[in-house]
Amino acid sequence: MVFCHDAFLGECRIADRDALALAQEECMAEAMAEVCPDMRIIPELEARRLGLTPGQNCCIIDSAAQDHYSKFAKSKRDKEGSLIICQV
C-alpha cells in the first residue's frame, strides 16, 4: 500500500482487484467521515446500489484498476460492477 498525495495505490492479483478496491474505499470513507462528518461520502458501487447521485446527495470514492500506474486512469466497471483494467 502506498499513499501518494490524493491516491492510495494497492497491489494485488487481478482476480482480487474488486475486493481490494472495496476495502480501500470503505477505509477512505470512514476516515473522511471523521474529518467531514456532515458530508455523505461513500464508495461508488454503494452509491449506485442506493440510487444516489454523486454531487447532489453524496460524494463518492472511486477506484481504477491498472496494470501500471497512471494519474490519468479513470474508474471503469463492467455491467456486473467489476473493475475493468484501464489501458492509459
Higher pLDDT, 2 or 11: 11
Residue 7 has pLDDT above 80, yes or no: no
pLDDT value of residue 87: 83
Do residues 64 and 77 make contact, with C-beta atoms less than 8 angstroms apart?
no
pLDDT value of residue 5: 57
d(CA 39, CA 17): 27
Which pTM value belongs to this model?
A: 0.81
Residue 17 confidence class, pLDDT cut points 50, 70, 90: very high
pLDDT in tens, 23-49: 999 988 898 889 889 989 999 888 988
